[in-house]
Amino acid sequence: METHNETFMTPGEAFSLSGELALITGGATGIGRAIAHAFILSGARVILVGRRRELLEKAAAALGPAAGWAVHDVADTAHVPALVEDVRSRYGDVSILVNNAGHHLKKTIEETDEAEFRHMLDTHVTGAYALTRALIPPMIGKRHGQILFTASMTSFFGLSRVFAYSTAKSAYLGMVRSLAVDLSPNGIRVNAIAPGFIETDIARKAFEADPARKQRVLHRTPLGRLGTTEDVAWAAVYLCSPAARFVNGVVLPVDGGVLIGF
């Protein structure tokens, strides 16, 4: 009879984020806040980062003592050193970075001026680059860290009138692959989540104004429903947990099957 000497982690160990300190950009609302909530339930401390102090304070208070916050506009890369020093002095070294902050722009290339295009790239791409670059030295020193990007369905296929947004989110795929190759020898895993059509406040308002669009989305989604922010949040926990310790450089769709549907 074959015997197995390999010791398995328990489910509690495999999905635990105990001892981790996660910085989540765009963490006060929507998907970012849901990720923060799931991280805390999994044992991590979190730092919510965003532009609006009142939203950060409210979200952190609701999440409890494991949540802190720091005001920062990810497009303002000159402020990154001050942010990192503030976070380190108040909370310690970040071991998980979630590059989640972003904004949407529903315009064609003809309608998108250069300032709008640059701002989209500054927010998503340059902002993520600057924070990642600033936060990895302690991770490298400890040979432990996780970097997670929030990508998009537009990272994979074309959607109408989101030229700048699609360009920025597609850039994340290259960042994930390159960073995973460069950083994983130092004990840092790099992955991404690509949410499908998720029921956020913004999406809800948009669908209320255009019910036909919602029906098209549901028709395209094999599971036949919109995703929730919780669906995305638990996927984030998995990718940053020991359960995914051999998962590196991937982009995980959380989309109800949109990418494989027709």
Catalytic residues: 165
Q: Is 104 helix (H, G, I), strand (E, B) or coil?
A: coil
CA-CA distance, 248 to 145, in Å (whole number)? Answer: 12
What are the residue ranges of helices labelled H in the chain? 11-14, 30-41, 53-63, 80-90, 114-121, 127-142, 163-183, 201-209, 211-220, 229-240
CA-CA distance, 186 to 141, in Å (whole number)? Answer: 8
CA-CA distance, 100 to 4, in Å (whole number)? Answer: 41
- In sign, the C-alpha dihedral spanning 166, 168, 171, 175 is negative
Which 8-state DSSP code applies to residue 123? I
Q: Is-contact 207 225, C-beta < 8 A?
A: no
